[in-house]
Amino acid sequence: MKSRLMRGFLAGVALLSISGSLFAHHGNAAYDSRTVTVKGTVTAWVWTNPHTFLKFDAKDEKGDVTHWLGEWNAPSTLVNFGITAKSFKPGEEVTVTMTGMSKTGQPVGRVTKVILPDGQELSMGSER
């Protein structure tokens, strides 16, 4: 009887330790509140769950290339705003606005809108 109670207790502790990291996934601790707009060239559009990623390269004033990573919402959310797996093509020039930049200084942020070469704006309706 004691060993069954002990196994149940240990299983509960293990479940609680795992669930904490699952909830932390959606935290904002790694991002600050700065808004940055970057003009660059799409290198990849990663259409995956639980988040999509827009990879693009931008040149600075000296001509040095920075490889950017923009994290966006899940595909199931983006399709409601007309954003699809085919919205971005490698080689396409885009202007990306990100709010919430990596606190580590890495070129990583959360996408709020993207302007395509033809001027079309892709966003989820409002910038946060």
Answer whether residue 11 is part of any domain. Answer: no
Asked whether residue 54 is assigned to any structural domain, the reply reads yes
Give the pLDDT band of residue 27 (cuts 50, 70, 90): low
Domain CATH code at residue 74: 2.40.50.1010
Q: Which whole number is the average pLDDT over 81-87?
A: 97
- 47 closest CA partner among 87, 92, 90: 87
Question: How many domains, in total, are found in the chain?
Answer: 1
118: containing domain? 35-123
Task: Give pLDDT, residue 100.
Answer: 87
Question: Is the predicted pLDDT of residue 98 greater than 60, yes or no?
Answer: yes
Average pLDDT (25-45) is 86
What's the mean pLDDT when you consider all of the chain? 84
Mean pLDDT across 15-35: 60
- Assess if residue 61 is contained within a domain: yes
59, part of any domain: yes
Write the CA distances from 124 to 11, 47, 81, 106, 115, integer angstroms.
Answer: 41, 16, 6, 24, 12
Tell me if 3 is assigned to some domain. Answer: no
Q: Tell whether 14 is covered by a domain.
A: no
Range with the poorest average pLDDT among 6-15, 27-36, 100-109? 6-15
